[in-house]
Amino acid sequence: MNTRLTNTILIVLLLLNAAFVGFWWLHHGHSHRMHPNMNHTAKGQGRVMGMDIIVKELNLDSAQKRQVEGLWKEHSATMGKYQAQITQFEKQTLECMTHGITDSSRAFVYADSAGMVRNAIQKEHFRYMARINQLCNADQKKKFDEMVKNMIMRVSHHWNPHDSNMKQDSM
C-alpha cells in the first residue's frame, strides 16, 4: 500500500473519530448539565427548551415572547439547513475513500466546506442571541448578560479544562 493512501486513510479515520467524539459529547456528554431546567420535549423532537428558559428567566411579556418564538423558529430552520449541509459534506468526504479516490485534495475541499458551515453556525448563534438582547428592556438586558456570562463560564470549562481559574465539575 503506498504511503499517500495510508496517510489519507489515517487522516479520514482521525477525522471520523473526532467527529464521533464531538457528536457524542455535544449530545450526551454535557448538554444535560448546561441548565437544570433544560430538557427535551415530550414529542421527542430533540428541541432543547432554551427558548422557554430565556422567556422565564428574563420574565418576558407576551409581545416579547411572541418575538422570541419567531426568532427561535427562524434560528431552528437555519440551523437545520446548516446541519444538513455539514452532513452532505461529511458524506462526500467519506465517499472519496469508498470510491478509491486517492487524491486527498477533493476530500479536503469537502472537509473545508464543512468547516465553513460550522463557522456560519457560530455566526448564526451570535445573531440569534444579539436579536434576543435587542428585544430586552434595561433590566432584562442585565439578566441576559448574566445568563450569557454563566453560559460562557460553563462552556469555556469544556473548551479549556486545564484553566486553573475554572471550577471543576463534580463529574
Cell of 110: 469537502
Q: Give me the pLDDT at residue 23, please.
A: 64
Instruction: Tell which CATH classification among 3.90.25.10, 1.20.120.1490, 3.30.230.10, 3.40.50.280 matches the domain 3-158.
Output: 1.20.120.1490
Residues in the chain: 171
Contact 117, 82 (CB under 8 A): yes
Query: What cell does 24 get?
Result: 457524542
Mean pLDDT by 10 residues, the chain (171 residues): 72 69 60 42 44 85 91 90 93 79 78 92 91 92 89 71 52 44
Contacts of residues 116-123 at CB distance under 8 Å and 24 or more positions apart, as own/partner, are 117/82, 117/85, 117/86, 117/89, 118/86, 120/82, 121/79, 121/82
Helices (H), the chain: 3-24, 50-58, 62-98, 104-135, 138-159
Question: Of 125, 132, 121, whose CA–CA distance to 52 is shortest?
Answer: 132
> What is the C-alpha to C-alpha distance for residues 90 and 111, in angstroms, rounded to an integer?
7
Q: Among candidates 31, 56, 59, which has minimal Cα distance to 46? A: 31
pLDDT of residue 93: 85
97-145 per-position pLDDT tens digit: 776 656 678 888 988 999 999 999 999 989 998 999 999 999 999 999 9
State residue 46's pLDDT score.
38
The pLDDT of residue 9 is 75
The domain limits of the chain are 3-158
Q: Please give the model's pTM, rounded to 2 decimal places.
A: 0.61
